[in-house]
C-alpha cells in the first residue's frame, strides 16, 4: 500500500493551503480532488465558485497578499460596500480593523486563484491528484504501529493509501467528512444528521452578466448587498464586479424554505402575489435586475449572460455553510478545515480567507507530527472573525424588511457621526441608536462566548 505522511481530501483553498504548509515543512503530502468541470477552466479542478471577494483585514488572516498573485487573478480593487434595504441604505468604506492592504478589499478570479494555489502547493512538493474520488476512510488510534497506517483512504478506482494524518477539506457538503466523523460520535449520533445540509447550509446561486458600461463604472469598486428583499435568515442578493463589464449577480438563502411559513410576505419586494413557492434563484435575480435597472434598460439585451464563465452557461449553484464551525477530533490525527469545518459563512458570502488559514495551520501541525493543538490554534487565529459572523447572524435571525430599513438608517447616521468604520466601538456608540446596536451586539457576543459558538465540539467526540 502506498504510504504518505499527510492525506488531504479536497483540493480547494483549504486543501491546497494545507498541502503547501505540510509539503513545505518536509511532509510527504497527497491531495485528492474529485474534480468539477467549469466553462472557465481547462480540465477538472475544485468547485471554484466565486464568493464576494476579500476584505482588507482578510488579507492578513489568509496571509497571502494579492501582490503575490499571477496576472489575471485580481479583478478589482474595492473601495466600499453598499448595503441596500427596501427603502434605506448605508455605505461602508472602512472595516475599522487594521490591515496591511491599502484598499477596502478586492475581487478575484476564483478558478485562476485555485489553480495558482495548486501550483503553489505542487512547487512546495505536494502531489495533487485530480479526478480521484474518495469513497471512505478507515482509521485506527494505534499511531505507534509501523505496519498498519493510522488512516487508510479508499478510492473509487479500488486503490487505497495509508497516511499518518488526515486533513478533511471537502467543502460544506462534507461528503467524506460526515462519514469520518461518524466513527467518533456516540452511539445514536450521526454527523450526517447533525450536520445535514438543510440544517447547517444555505444554497447559493449566481449568474455572470455583462453590464452596460455606465452601470459597471458605478459598481466596479463596490460590492453590493440587498437585505430585506427576500425572506429567510441571512437571505440576500448581491452584485460583485469582475472584469470587462462582467458582474456576478447572485443570492444565498436557506435550503427548503416554505413560502407558507413566511410572515408578511407582501412586504418582500422580490416576492409576487402569485408565487405559490419560494422562487428559483434565476427568478429572484431577474426580479432584482428589473427592480434596479429595468426602467432604463432591457435586461435581456443590456445585461446578457456570459456563457463562457461559471460552471455552465454563465451560471452556478453551490452550497455554503451557515456560519457555525465545528471542532476536529484531533486525538485521532484528523483536522477538518475550510468549508467542511464551517468557516465559510452565508452571512459574509464566502470565507476563502479563513479556509486558507485553517488549512495552513492543519498542514503545519500535521507536518510536525502533532495535531493536538489544532482547535486552539485556529481559535486563536480566526476565532474573533467567526464569533463576529455568528453574532451578527444571530442578531438578525428574525429580521424582516422594516427591521433592515431601520438598521441601515441607524447605521448611516452612526457613520455620518463618526466616519465610515462601522466596527469601531466609538462609531457604534454614536447617538442613541448606536448605543442600542452596541448593547445588543455585546450581549449576543458575550452569550456566544459563554455558551460556545461551535455546532460540534471536541468534547462531543469519543475515541
> What are the domain boundaries of the chain?
2-73+108-197+325-382, 201-320, 391-451
Average confidence (pLDDT) over 186-194 = 90
Query: Which tens digit of pLDDT belongs to each residue from 80-123?
Result: 999 999 999 999 998 888 899 999 999 999 999 999 999 999 99
Average confidence (pLDDT) over 363-372 = 98
The more confidently predicted of residues 53 and 444 is 53
Average confidence (pLDDT) over 235-248 = 96
pLDDT at 250 over 90: yes
pLDDT at 329 over 70: yes
Average confidence (pLDDT) over 25-32 = 98
Give the model's pLDDT for residue 431.
Answer: 45
Average confidence (pLDDT) over 303-323 = 91
Contact assessment for residue 387 and residue 343, using Cβ atoms and an 8 Å cutoff: no
CA 175, CA 180: separation in Å to the nearest integer?
10
Give the model's pLDDT for residue 198.
Answer: 85
| Residue 50 neighbours by CB distance under 10 Å | 26
Contacts of 72 (CB under 8 A, 6+ apart): 109, 112
CA 420, CA 415: separation in Å to the nearest integer?
5
Contact assessment for residue 36 and residue 46, using Cβ atoms and an 8 Å cutoff: yes
**Is residue 199 very low, low, confident or very high in pLDDT (cuts 50, 70, 90)?**
confident
Average confidence (pLDDT) over 162-182 = 95
Q: CA angle 230-233-234, nearest 5°?
A: 80
Give the model's pLDDT for residue 389.
Answer: 84
**Is residue 223 very low, low, confident or very high in pLDDT (cuts 50, 70, 90)?**
very high
Write a three-state SS string for 157-202. Answer: CCCEEEEEEEEECCCCCCCCHHHHHHCCCCCCCCHHHHCCHHHHEE
CA 250, CA 242: separation in Å to the nearest integer?
13
* CATH code 3.50.50.60 for 2-73+108-197+325-382: yes
Q: CA angle 173-198-264, nearest 5°?
A: 140
Average confidence (pLDDT) over 30-44 = 92
Contact assessment for residue 324 and residue 455, using Cβ atoms and an 8 Å cutoff: yes
CA 52, CA 137: separation in Å to the nearest integer?
33
Give the model's pLDDT for residue 432.
Answer: 45
**Is residue 390 very low, low, confident or very high in pLDDT (cuts 50, 70, 90)?**
confident
Least confident of 1-15, 157-171, 385-399: 385-399
The more confidently predicted of residues 358 and 1 is 358
Contacts of 169 (CB under 8 A, 6+ apart): 8, 9, 10, 11, 12, 14, 15, 18, 336, 337, 338, 339, 340, 355, 359
pLDDT at 427 over 50: no
Where is 80: in which H helix or E strand? strand 80-84
The model's pTM is 0.92
Least confident of 32-46, 163-177, 399-413: 399-413
Give the model's pLDDT for residue 429.
Answer: 47
Contact assessment for residue 8 and residue 15, using Cβ atoms and an 8 Å cutoff: yes
Nearest to 282 by CA among 266, 297, 303: 303
Q: CA angle 460-354-189, nearest 5°?
A: 20
**Is residue 188 very low, low, confident or very high in pLDDT (cuts 50, 70, 90)?**
confident
Average confidence (pLDDT) over 12-18 = 97
pLDDT at 453 over 60: yes
pLDDT at 346 over 80: no
DSSP conformational letter for 11: -
Q: Could you tell me how many residues make up the chain?
A: 463
Q: Average pLDDT, whole number, for the chain?
A: 90
Average confidence (pLDDT) over 257-264 = 94
- Among 193-207, 221-235, 416-430, name the most confident range: 221-235
What angle in degrees, to the nearest 10, is found between the helix axes of 431-451 and 401-417?
A: 110
Amino acid at each position: 500500500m502506498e504510504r504518505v505522511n499527510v492525506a488531504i481530501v479536497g483540493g480547494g483553498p483549504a486543501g491546497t493551503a494545507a498541502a503547501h504548509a505540510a509539503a513545505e515543512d518536509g511532509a510527504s503530502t497527497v491531495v485528492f480532488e474529485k474534480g468539477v468541470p467549469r466553462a472557465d477552466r481547462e480540465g477538472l479542478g475544485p468547485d471554484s465558485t466565486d464568493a464576494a471577494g476579500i476584505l482588507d483585514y482578510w488579507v492578513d488572516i489568509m496571509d497571502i497578499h494579492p501582490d503575490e498573485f499571477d496576472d489575471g487573478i485580481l479583478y478589482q480593487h474595492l473601495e466600499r460596500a453598499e448595503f441596500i434595504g427596501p427603502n434605506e441604505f448605508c455605505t461602508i468604506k472602512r472595516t475599522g480593523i487594521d490591515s496591511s492592504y491599502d484598499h477596502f478589499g478586492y475581487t478575484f478570479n476564483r478558478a485562476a486563484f485555485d489553480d495558482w494555489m495548486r501550483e503553489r502547493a505542487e512547487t512546495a512538493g505536494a502531489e495533487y491528484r485530480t479526478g480521484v474520488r474518495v469513497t471512505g476512510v478507515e482509521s485506527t488510534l494505534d499511531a505507534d504501529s509501523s505496519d498498519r497506517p493510522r488512516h487508510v483512504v479508499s478510492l473509487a478506482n479500488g486503490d487505497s493509501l495509508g497516511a499518518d494524518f488526515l486533513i478533511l477539506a471537502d467543502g460544506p457538503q462534507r461528503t467524506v467528512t460526515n462519514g469520518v466523523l461518524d466513527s467518533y460520535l456516540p452511539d445514536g449520533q450521526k454527523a450526517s444528521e447533525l450536520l445535514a445540509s438543510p440544517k447547517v447550509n444555505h444554497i447559493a446561486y449566481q449568474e455572470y452578466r455583462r453590464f452596460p458600461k455606465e452601470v459597471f463604472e458605478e459598481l466596479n469598486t463596490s460590492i453590493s448587498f440587498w437585505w430585506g428583499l427576500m425572506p429567510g435568515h441571512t437571505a440576500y442578493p448581491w452584485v460583485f464586479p469582475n472584469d470587462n463589464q462582467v458582474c456576478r449577480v447572485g443570492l444565498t438563502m436557506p435550503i427548503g424554505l416554505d413560502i407558507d411559513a413566511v410572515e408578511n410576505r407582501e412586504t418582500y419586494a422580490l416576492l409576487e402575489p402569485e408565487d405559490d413557492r419560494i422562487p428559483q434563484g434565476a427568478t429572484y435575480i431577474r426580479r432584482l435586475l428589473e427592480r434596479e435597472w429595468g426602467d432604463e434598460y432591457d435586461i435581456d439585451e443590456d445585461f446578457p449572460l456570459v456563457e463562457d464563465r461559471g460552471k455552465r452557461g454563465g451560471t452556478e449553484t453551490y452550497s455554503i455553510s451557515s456560519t457555525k464551525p465545528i471542532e476536529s477530533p484531533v486525538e485521532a490525527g484528523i483536522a477538518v478545515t475550510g468549508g467542511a469545518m464551517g468557516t465559510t459563512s452565508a452571512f459574509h458570502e464566502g470565507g476563502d480567507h479563513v479556509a486558507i488559514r485553517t488549512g495552513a495551520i492543519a498542514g503545519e501541525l500535521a507536518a510536525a507530527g502533532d495535531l493536538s493543538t489544532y482547535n486552539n490554534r485556529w481559535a486563536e487565529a480566526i476565532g474573533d472573525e467567526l464569533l463576529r459572523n455568528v453574532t451578527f447572524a444571530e442578531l438578525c435571525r428574525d429580521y424582516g424588511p422594516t427591521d433592515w430599513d431601520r438598521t441601515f438608517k441607524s447605521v448611516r447616521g452612526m457613520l455620518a457621526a463618526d466616519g465610515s468604520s462601522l466596527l469601531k466601538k466609538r462609531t457604534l456608540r454614536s447617538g442613541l441608536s448606536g448605543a442600542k446596536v452596541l448593547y445588543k451586539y455585546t450581549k449576543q457576543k458575550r452569550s456566544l462566548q459563554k455558551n460556545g459558538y461551535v455546532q460540534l465540539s471536541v468534547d462531543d467526540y469519543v475515541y
